[in-house]
Amino acid sequence: MIELILYSTTGCHLCEQAVEVLQVALQGECCMLDEIDIANDDILLEQYGVRIPVLKNPQNGKEIGWPFEPNDVLLLLEP
């Protein structure tokens, strides 16, 4: 199963677009997406505040910031 983390915040239209890109990139794949709202964590807010949405693969530690396309998501999944 593919596991990904999406750092985002409530009301972020770019974050909503990122989810749509994920759906296109991972169509038919079983995926567990953990959406983390950075607004409730000062460390995450400082780290990702101006970069959200940020997509992270916890298996390999790679992450990509917005804007990203379906191919970028697929590259993120490579070891």
Task: Give the per-residue pLDDT at 1.
Answer: 86
Of 31, 69, 68, residue with least CA distance to 52: 68
Q: Where in the sequence is the domain holding 25, given as residue range(s)?
A: 2-76
Task: Give the per-residue pLDDT at 29.
Answer: 86
Give yes or no for residue 79 having a pLDDT over 90: no
pTM (2 d.p.): 0.92
Q: Cα–Cα distance between 60 and 51 in angstroms, integer?
A: 20
Interval 2-55: pLDDT, tens: 899 999 999 999 999 999 999 999 998 889 999 999 999 999 999 999 999 999
CATH of the domain at 52: 3.40.30.10
The total number of structural domains that make up the chain: 1
Give yes or no for residue 74 having a pLDDT over 90: yes
Count CA atoms closer than 13 A to 51's CA, side-chain side: 13
Q: DSSP E strands: which ranges in the chain?
A: 2-8, 31-37, 54-56, 63-65
In the numeric block, which tokens belong to residue 71? 């191919």
